[in-house]
Amino acid sequence: MGKKEIVRMTHQRKIILEELRSVTSHPTADDIYAMVKRRLPKISLGTIYRNLETLSVLGLVQKLEVGGTQKRFDGDISNHYHIRCTHCGTVEDIFTEPIASIEDLFKKVDKYKVTGYRLELFGVCPQCEQ
């Protein structure tokens, strides 16, 4: 997808985006497929994957590529952090202000123009802890 290419907000993309933004669970493409299928029964899993990729490239969703697991998607594109349970794979938002000292450190990176970053913490969720 080129920089100058105009991408329409199709009905399918709109529904996918609405469903993704209605949850905070950071669903996988398969999860989103199940959610969207209730509203668009004839949609295919391939269509979900292609549209999620397009929405990610357009900056309308975040694609979370966490090590060793399926990609997850986040409808919240604001700068925020995540924590992932190392037992069950659940991903949740961490509700805190961006850490200024880390952001200041990134400004000092030589040779690169930093355009963004992701910070992910690992731990054990309360359900797995029990």
Q: How many domains does the chain have?
A: 2
pLDDT of residue 77: 86
pLDDT band at 15 (very low <50, low <70, confident <90, very high): very high
| Mean pLDDT calculated for residue range 71-76 | 90
CATH number at residue 99: 3.30.1490.190
To the question of pTM greater than 0.85 for the whole model, the response is no
Tell whether 70 and 93 lie within a shared domain.
Answer: no
Tell whether 50 and 31 lie within a shared domain.
Answer: yes
pLDDT of residue 115: 72
Q: Is the pLDDT of residue 3 over 70?
A: no
Tell whether 95 and 46 lie within a shared domain.
Answer: no
CATH number at residue 30: 1.10.10.10
Token pair listed for 28: 């996988």
Residue 6 placed within a domain: no
Tell whether 69 and 115 lie within a shared domain.
Answer: no
Residue 3 placed within a domain: no
- 91: containing domain: 81-129
The b-or-e profile of 40-77 (16+ CB within 10 A means b, else e) is beebeeebbeebbebbbeeebbbebebeeeeebbbbee
Summarize pLDDT for 46-63 with one digit per residue, the tens. 999 999 999 999 999 989
Average pLDDT score over the chain: 85
